[in-house]
C-alpha cells in the first residue's frame, strides 16, 4: 500500500460494498421485505415511501441505496485507502501492539466515544441553515427512516462524517484502530435508523436498537444530535425523550431561537 494501485483500492471498495450490502441488507430484508415482525416495536406504523418525489425514482429504498453505496461507501473507502497508504509510508504516527498493548487497548475503547463527540459537532454544524439547505436536507428527507437511510447523505456530509478517521493522523495508533474506526462509522447508522425499537429474535428474544433518540431527531429535527453514548444532548440542552415535557422544552428552545434571530435582524 505504499503506492496507490487500482488493484488493492478496488479490493477495499468491493469488500466495503459487500459488508454494507450484508449488514444494511440484513436489517432491511428482515424488517421491511419479509416484515418478519410486522409493525411490532416500529415507531412509525407507515412503511417506506414508494411514490414520493423527494426521492430518486420516487422510491425511498432505491434513493437511500444509491446515496449509501454510490457516495457513502466510495468516500468511506477513499478515507480508508488514504489512511492505510499514509501508515504504510510512515507519514502518520504508528504504535506497535507488542510495545504498547495497554495504551492501544484503551485507545480502542475510546474510539466510539470520540466518534460520538465528532458526530455531535459535525451534526450541529450541518444543521446551520445554509448547510442544512444545501447538504443535510437530503438525509432529512427520511422523516420515517429505514436501515438504508442511515448512510443516505449528500457527498459533502459523507466527507464530514467519515473525517473522524483523520484523528489517527495525529494521535499515535495502529492501522487496526483506523480500520475499526471507519468500519464502525460505516455500519453503525443501520441499527440507529432501523425505525424499530427492537428486532425480534426467535419466539421470545429481542435485540434493542437504541435508536429512539435518533428517530425523534428525524421526526423533530432540532434535537438529539448525538446517539447517546455520551450524554452530549443533555449537557447542551438539546435532548428530547419523547415525552410531552420534552416536546414543550423543544418548542421553548425554538421560540427563543426565533426571537433571538428577529432581534439580531433588527
State the Cα–Cα distance between residues 23 and 184, nearest whole angstrom. 12
C-beta of residue 179 within 8 angstroms of C-beta of residue 1: no
> Among all chains, which residue has been given the C-alpha cell 428517530?
215
Q: Is residue 193 predicted with pLDDT exceeding 80?
A: yes
SS3 for 146? coil
List CB contacts of 199: < 8 A, sequence separation 6 or more: 27, 30, 31, 37, 41, 206, 207, 209
- Give 66-106 pLDDT, tens digit per residue: 999 999 999 999 999 999 999 999 999 999 999 999 999 99
- The yes-or-no verdict on residue 264 having pLDDT over 70 is no
Compute CA 2 distance to the chain's CA centroid, rounded to the nearest angstrom: 30
| Matching residue, cell 502518520 | 92
What pLDDT sits at residue 262? 58
* Grid cell for residue 13: 471498495
CA–CA gap between residue 231 and residue 78 (Å, rounded): 31
Average per-residue pLDDT for the chain:
94
pLDDT digits (tens, 9 = 90+) for 132-168: 999 999 999 999 999 999 999 999 999 999 999 999 9
The owner of cell 428577529 is: 262
% of the chain beyond a pLDDT of 70: 97
- Per the CB < 8 A criterion, the answer to whether 222 and 238 are in contact is yes
* H helix intervals, 70-228: 74-88, 101-126, 129-131, 137-140, 155-161, 175-187, 189-192, 212-220
Q: Does pTM top 0.95 for this prediction?
A: no
Domain borders along the chain are 6-240
pLDDT at position 257: 73
Distance CA 127, CA 28 (A): 27
Q: Which of 83, 113, 101 is nearest to 175 (CA)?
A: 83
Q: How large is the average pLDDT for residues 102-131?
A: 96
Amino acid at each position: 500500500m505504499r503506492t496507490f494501485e487500482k488493484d488493492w483500492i478496488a479490493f477495499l471498495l468491493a469488500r466495503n460494498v459487500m459488508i454494507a450490502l450484508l449488514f444494511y441488507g440484513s436489517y432491511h430484508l428482515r424488517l421491511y421485505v419479509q416484515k418478519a415482525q410486522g409493525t411490532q416495536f416500529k415507531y412509525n406504523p407507515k412503511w417506506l415511501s414508494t411514490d414520493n418525489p423527494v426521492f430518486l425514482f420516487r422510491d425511498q429504498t432505491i434513493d437511500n441505496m444509491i446515496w449509501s453505496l454510490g457516495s457513502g461507501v466510495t468516500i468511506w473507502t477513499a478515507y480508508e485507502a488514504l489512511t492505510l497508504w499514509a501508515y504504510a509510508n510512515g507519514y502518520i504516527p504508528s504504535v506497535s501492539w507488542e510495545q504498547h498493548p495497554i495504551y492501544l487497548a484503551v485507545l480502542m475503547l475510546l474510539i466510539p466515544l470520540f466518534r460520538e463527540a465528532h458526530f455531535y459537532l459535525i451534526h450541529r454544524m450541518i444543521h446551520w441553515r445554509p448547510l442544512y439547505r444545501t447538504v443535510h436536507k437530503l438525509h432529512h428527507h427520511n422523516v420515517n427512516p429505514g436501515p438504508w437511510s442511515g448512510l443516505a447523505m449528500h457527498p459533502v456530509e459523507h466527507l464530514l462524517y467519515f473525517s473522524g478517521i483523520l484523528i489517527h493522523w495525529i494521535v499515535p495508533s495502529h492501522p487496526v484502530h483506523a480500520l475499526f474506526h471507519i468500519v464502525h462509522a460505516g455500519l453503525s447508522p443501520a441499527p440507529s435508523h432501523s425505525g424499530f425499537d427492537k428486532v425480534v429474535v426467535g419466539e421470545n428474544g429481542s435485540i434493542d436498537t437504541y435508536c429512539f433518540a435518533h428517530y425523534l431527531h428525524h421526526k423533530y429535527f432540532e434535537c438529539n444530535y448525538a446517539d447517546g453514548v455520551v450524554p452530549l444532548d443533555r449537557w447542551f440542552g438539546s435532548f428530547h425523550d419523547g415525552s410531552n415535557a420534552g416536546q414543550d422544552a423543544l418548542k421553548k428552545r425554538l421560540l427563543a431561537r426565533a426571537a433571538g434571530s428577529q432581534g439580531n435582524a433588527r
